[in-house]
Amino acid sequence: MQDTLIKNKPVLTLSKVCKNFGGVVAADEISLEMYGGQTFGLIGPNGAGKTTLLNLITGIYSSDSGQIHLNGRNISKAPTHKRALLGIARTFQHPRLLERCDIQTNIQLGIDLANKRRRKPSQQNQSEITMLLGCAGLKNVDLSNSVEKLSYGQRKMLEIVRSLLSEPAVLLLDEPAAGLNAKEMEYIVALIKVAIEWDIAVLLIEHSMELVMEIWRRSHFNNSESDTHLY
Residue 158 lies in domain: 2-230
If phi > 0 it is left, if psi is from -120 to 50 it is alpha, else beta; for residue 92 that is beta
% of the chain beyond a pLDDT of 90: 62
User: Over the chain, what is the mean pLDDT?
Assistant: 86
Phi/psi at 99 (nearest 5 deg)?
-65, -30
Contact yes or no for 199/37 (Cβ under 8 A) = yes
pLDDT at 200 over 90: yes
Contact yes or no for 35/15 (Cβ under 8 A) = no
Q: How many CB atoms lie within 10 A of CB 13?
A: 18
Average pLDDT, integer, range 170-193: 90
The pLDDT tens digits for 144-179 are 999 999 999 999 999 999 999 999 999 999 988 888
Element of type H or E holding 158: helix 152-165
Contact yes or no for 81/26 (Cβ under 8 A) = no
What three-state secondary structure class fits 24? strand
What's the CATH code of the domain at 9? Answer: 3.40.50.300
pLDDT at 2 over 50: no
Q: How confident is the model at residue 195 (pLDDT cuts 50, 70, 90)?
A: very high
pTM of the full predicted structure? 0.88
Residue 154 CA to residue 86 CA, distance in Å, equals 27
- Count of structural domains, the chain: 1
Bridge partners (DSSP) listed for residue 21: 24
